[in-house]
Amino acid sequence: MKIKLKYIIVLIVLASISSIIFGFSIEEEQPSSAHRYIGLGTIGLFLVAMPLFLFKESKGKNMKDYMLTKDNIKKMQDQERKNTGKE
């Protein structure tokens, strides 16, 4: 049984947002527990779900295409010249 990474990411995001909302709702009665829930929700979003999402979305892509190298800058400048020449 293979679970898709997309569904795991959605589950983590929903659990994290729920934890943050729950933490804010109990903040008046139990401040220490509320801070723990808010912190765990934040960690879930930014240290677990976001890296998993970035890993999933970057599969099969060449990272050199997104880096500012001299070749890529030259390509962008040539493309800009072509676009401005047509208008």
Cβ proximity of 34 and 84 under 8 Å: no
Q: What percent of the chain has pLDDT over 90?
A: 56
Would you state the pLDDT for residue 85?
65
Place of tokens 């999402």: 53
Cβ proximity of 23 and 36 under 8 Å: yes
Q: State the average pLDDT for the chain.
A: 89
pLDDT tens per residue, range 19-32: 999 999 999 999 99
Residue range(s) defining the domain that contains residue 72 = 5-86
Tell me how many domains the chain contains. Answer: 1
